[in-house]
Structures are given as structure tokens and as C-alpha cells.
């Protein structure tokens, strides 16, 4: 029950933060270039827009929940479950922002949702065997990755760049959090001690820098297209994160999780057709 509440809070806060940011960038308009003047205007707007500030505050809280989650659970499990935010993003974008969500976007988000279900079901099925099996499952040399053409439109170049930066942030942050250990809520001093270890860890500092780069690109992407297109498209980052979780964090990647990630990748491919 605690795991369910933790991951549900993570997903809901991520979705609401995205919605507020999208609303703020719809007010600002398109970001077409990054000259010093344009960048300064964008930064000023980010610090003064109530929608952006609300979105950043919500996502900051979501990040705290994420740190707690990955201190207790594998990154290769938390991230795909986190992808539940994609179908909810489309739903909230339709209900709150009145975005026109096409049938192919709904199909893509539902496909991603199916991938999330497969990951969660696989983890539940295999948890009973975890104590008796100590060997790691080898990552097979094949995995479904959305095809990237030599030439990509500007929006997809931005999506890939953002996904790589975000995935690097996930891996670096998870590495630091694993080193800091699981948070203990038994006393305020232990909580502050855990936060201190988090903020002083070089891997987490590098992860935050990657997240900052990813956030700037995400803001730019929101000024180009609807959140119901942008957020599901960024699911390609889960492919990068799963590879990092296996090769950098040495996590056990089950075949069920790989299947779920592959279905999520299929959802990204479907939405790219729109």
C-alpha cells in the first residue's frame, strides 16, 4: 500500500506540473532561437509567470517523491511505472487545456500505458522469486527502439536531446541516492541528514545539472507543440534509462520489464506518426 501511494503521488504531481508548465508556455508563445536577448526574456518569464512557478513547485515536490521512490525501489521499475503520467497527461490536456488529442495520440498513450502495466505485473509476478534467485538476468542484445532517420524534424531532435539529458539525470541521481541510502522518517535529524547526503553527492549534483538542461529543452518543446504530443514522445528516454540502469547501476532487468519498455517504445513510434 505504501508503494502504491508513493508511486501514485509521483505520477499525479508529475502530470499536474506538466499541465501548469504547458499552460504557461502557451501564454509565452514559441521559442524559436536562443540569442542572448531571447534567452534572457525567456528566463525572466520563467521566474515571473505564475503558471511556470506553480508548475516548477509541483515538479519540485514530484522530484522529492521520486528520490524517495528510487531510494527504495529499482530505477528500472520506478521509471516505467512513472510512464503512467503519459495517458494522464493526454487526459488532463484534453480536459483542462482543451487540447485536441487525435486518435493516434490516444492510441500511443494507451500503448504506453499497456507497457506500464506489463512492467508492474512482471515485477509483482517475480517478487516471490527474488529471495531465491541471486543471479542477474542478462540484457539481450535486441530491444525495440523507435527508428531514428538520418534526418529528423526539429521537434524530434529536441525530443531526443531532452531524453538523453533526462536519462543521464536519472542514472546519475539514482547512483547518488543509492549511495546515500534509504530515507528514514523516524526523526527529523535523520531526515535532514539524508537530505544533506543527497545535496552533497557529486553524482546527484551532476544529475541535477542534466535535469536543468532537459527542463530548458522541455520548456522549448512545449512552446512548439501540445503537451499531449510532447510528453508521450519523451518516453524514448526510458530506453536509454533502462540501458543505464543495467550497465551503470547493475540492476537486474527481467524479461517482463524489457517487454514493457519495448511496448512503451512502440507507443513512442506510434505517436511519432502524428
35-58: per-residue pLDDT in tens? 777 778 888 898 999 999 999 999
Is 132 part of a structural domain of the chain? no
Instruction: Determine the structural domain holding residue 82 and report its residue range.
Output: 2-38+47-125+151-272
pLDDT > 70: what percent of the chain?
80
Say how far residue 166 (Cα) sits from the centre of its chain: 7
Residue with cell 511556470: 52
Grid cell digits, residue 58: 509541483
Contact 254, 80 (CB under 8 A): no
Mean pLDDT, to the nearest integer, of 255-269? 76
Grid cell digits, residue 34: 536562443
Is 139 part of a structural domain of the chain? no
Number of domains, the chain: 1
Distances (CA, A) of 134 to 108, 129, 161, 250, 272: 36, 9, 36, 13, 39
The pLDDT of residue 76: 67
Mean pLDDT, to the nearest integer, of 244-273? 76
HEC string for 46-94 = HHHCHHHHHHHHHHHHHHHHHHHHHHHCCHHHHHHHHCCHHHHHHHHHH
Is 191 part of a structural domain of the chain? yes
pLDDT digits (tens, 9 = 90+) for 189-225: 777 777 777 778 898 899 989 999 998 888 888 888 8
pLDDT digits (tens, 9 = 90+) for 240-250: 887 788 788 88
pLDDT digits (tens, 9 = 90+) for 158-187: 888 888 998 899 899 888 887 777 666 566
pLDDT interval class at 270 (50, 70, 90):
confident
- The Cα diameter of the chain in Å comes to 60
The pLDDT of residue 147: 41
Is 130 part of a structural domain of the chain? no
Q: Which residue has the higher pLDDT, 54 or 90?
A: 54
Q: Whole-number mean pLDDT of the chain?
A: 77
Is 142 part of a structural domain of the chain? no
The pLDDT of residue 145: 39
The pLDDT of residue 55: 93
Is 144 part of a structural domain of the chain? no
Q: Which residue has the higher pLDDT, 17 or 124?
A: 17
d(C-alpha 193, C-alpha 180), whole Å: 10
Grid cell digits, residue 117: 502495466
pLDDT digits (tens, 9 = 90+) for 126-164: 544 444 443 444 444 333 334 443 445 677 788 888 889
Is 258 part of a structural domain of the chain? yes
Q: How many CB atoms lie within 10 A of CB 135?
A: 6
Is 12 part of a structural domain of the chain? yes
Amino acid at each position: 500500500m505504501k508503494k502504491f501511494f508513493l508511486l501514485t503521488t509521483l505520477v499525479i504531481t508529475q502530470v499536474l506540473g506538466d499541465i501548469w508548465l504547458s499552460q504557461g508556455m502557451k501564454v509565452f508563445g514559441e521559442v524559436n532561437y536562443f540569442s542572448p536577448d531571447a534567452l534572457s526574456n525567456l528566463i525572466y518569464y520563467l521566474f515571473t509567470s505564475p503558471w511556470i512557478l506553480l508548475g516548477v513547485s509541483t515538479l519540485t515536490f514530484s522530484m522529492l517523491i521520486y528520490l524517495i521512490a528510487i531510494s527504495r525501489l529499482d530505477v528500472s521499475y520506478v521509471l516505467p511505472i512513472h510512464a503512467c503520467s503519459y495517458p494522464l497527461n493526454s487526459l488532463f490536456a484534453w480536459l483542462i487545456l482543451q487540447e485536441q488529442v487525435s486518435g493516434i495520440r490516444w492510441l500511443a498513450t494507451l500503448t504506453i500505458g499497456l507497457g506500464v502495466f506489463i512492467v508492474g505485473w512482471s515485477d509483482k509476478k517475480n517478487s516471490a522469486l527474488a529471495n531465491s534467485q541471486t543471479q542477474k538476468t542478462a540484457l539481450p542484445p535486441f530491444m525495440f527502439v523507435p527508428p531514428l532517420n538520418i534526418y529528423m524534424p526539429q521537434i524530434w531532435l529536441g525530443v531526443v536531446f531532452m531524453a538523453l539529458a533526462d536519462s543521464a539525470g536519472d542514472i546519475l541521481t539514482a547512483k547518488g541516492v543509492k549511495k546515500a541510502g534509504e530515507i528514514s522518517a523516524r526523526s527529523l535529524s535523520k531526515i535532514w541528514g539524508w537530505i544533506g547526503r543527497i545535496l552533497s553527492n557529486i553524482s546527484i549534483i551532476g544529475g541535477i545539472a542534466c535535469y536543468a538542461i532537459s527542463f530548458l529543452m522541455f520548456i522549448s518543446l512545449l512552446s512548439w507543440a501540445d503537451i499531449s504530443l510532447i510528453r508521450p514522445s519523451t518516453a524514448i528516454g526510458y530506453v536509454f534509462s533502462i540501458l543505464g540502469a543495467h550497465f551503470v547501476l547493475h540492476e537486474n532487468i527481467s524479461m517482463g520489464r524489457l517487454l514493457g519498455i519495448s511496448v512503451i517504445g512502440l507507443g513512442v513510434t506510434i505517436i511519432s506518426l502524428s
